[in-house]
Amino acid sequence: MLTLRSRQAEVLPSLKKPEREPFRIAVDAMGSDDAPSAEVEGAKIASAILREMEVPCTIMLVGNNDQIERIIHPKRSYIRPSRLAQIQIIPAEDAVTMDDEPAVVVRAKPRSSMVIGLELVQQGKADAFISAGNTGAILSAATLILGRIRGVSRPTIGAFFPTSEGKECLLLDVGANVEVKPQYLYEFAVMGSVYAELIQKISRPRVGLLNIGEEETKGTEQVRAAHLLLKNSSLNFVGNVEGHDIFTGRADVIVCDGFTGNVVLKFAESIAPLLKSVLRRRAQLGFWEKLRLKVTANTLRKVLADFDYQKYGGVPLLGVNGVVIIGHGKSSSQAISNMILRAWEMHHLSINKRIEERLNVEQNNTAAGE
């Protein structure tokens, strides 16, 4: 996440004394397009930052032992083992690819880095798991191996959108659930709110329901029923929001079905390439046009960096019994490092416990109100 560095500074002072229990994270070293080197380098960067923050940690790189060793101990350099920040290799013979059918990964590839990494969390040997691999497979394997948080019907994957206010908007679901019930949308709203409150430091996050009009009567039957659930909850519900409200920052958290969310997410990711190609087509003219284009392209590059959010930090898988972050296949070592730090934050702030509590409170409120 682009804004993670500034958040680290915010989090840092709250750590009065070093934590005794080390933060243990399992990293799927075979996930990204550039695996395992992005993962190994990312682990090194994150361990250095955590060491500086006096957070004891053990980063477990799960994957092909030889490939990881070759990168982790190149002949010319040597990582100094540290009491505070350790990097370990957990061998895994197999790896999940993009072609693997998500639903059967646990059964078909029990010795894959993804399955072994998640099992470390399930067995209590790791506090978090991150992977830049097959999103559907992570979702499916994590749900199967870790189970769901009490009160959660369906885990959800969120994504961050830049807004014109400069803050981020968390849209969920973006593909984990193609069809949703009103109850699911309501639970997504609770999970998103807790995330925005704890991690994005937004007090009473504004929750919007993605719809095709502002009126309560708009949308499908499911969406109309979800509107009522949200309206009667203790969440800071700002009502229906429309497609154009994602970018305007009218809400901090927006919930929708995973079909719509996925289409919008992928559509958003294609804005930068479209603008670039349109600009390029316009630049077949003279010298001044080319110069103008160059200036424009440079400015745009900075602006459009905001759109490449996935590359910079991954997105949380919320609702499973464990901290899990999913990264883009194109994750750089910087992105992997950000994912590790984000996972630490989520663990440190006990986000899953808070989600469980919040869902429990909400349910009691609803029951009392009936």
Q: Which is nearer to a second copy, 76 or 281 (CB)?
A: 281
Please state the length of the chain.
Answer: 370
Our CB check for a second copy shows the closer of 12 and 98 to be 98
CA–CA distance, 216 with 3 (Å, rounded to integer): 35
Closer of 296 and 334 to a second copy (Cβ):
296
Q: 3-state DSSP call for residue 136? A: helix
- Residue 51 CB, shortest distance to a second copy, in Å, is 34
Q: Find the shortest distance in angstroms from Cβ 337 to a second copy.
A: 26
Q: Which helix (H) or strand (E) holds 169?
A: strand 168-172
Burial of 111: CB neighbours in 10 Å, binned 0-12, 13-18, 19+ = exposed
Among residues 260 and 331, whose Cβ is nearest to a second copy? Answer: 260
Are 30 and 325 spatial neighbours (Cβ–Cβ below 8 Å)? no
Give the residue with the Cβ less far from a second copy, 220 or 363. Answer: 220
Rounded to the nearest whole angstrom, what is the least distance from the CB of residue 307 to a second copy in the complex? 10
Q: How far is the CB of 361 from a second copy (least distance, A)?
A: 31
- Nearest CB to a second copy, comparing residues 63 and 175: 175
Residue 239: helix, strand or coil by DSSP? strand
Query: Which residues are near a second copy by CB under 8 A?
Result: 162-164, 166, 175, 178-179, 210, 212, 219-220, 223, 242-248, 256, 258-260, 262-271, 273-275, 277-279, 281-282, 292-293, 295-296, 298-300, 302-303, 306
From the list 189, 180, 185, 192, the residue with the least C-alpha distance to 226 is 185
The neighbouring-strand residues paired with 91 are 63
182 preceded by a cis bond (ω within 30 of 0): no
Alpha-carbon distance of 18 to 327, in angstroms, equals: 28
Least gap, CB of 230 to a second copy (angstroms): 17
Least Å distance between CB 356 and a second copy?
29
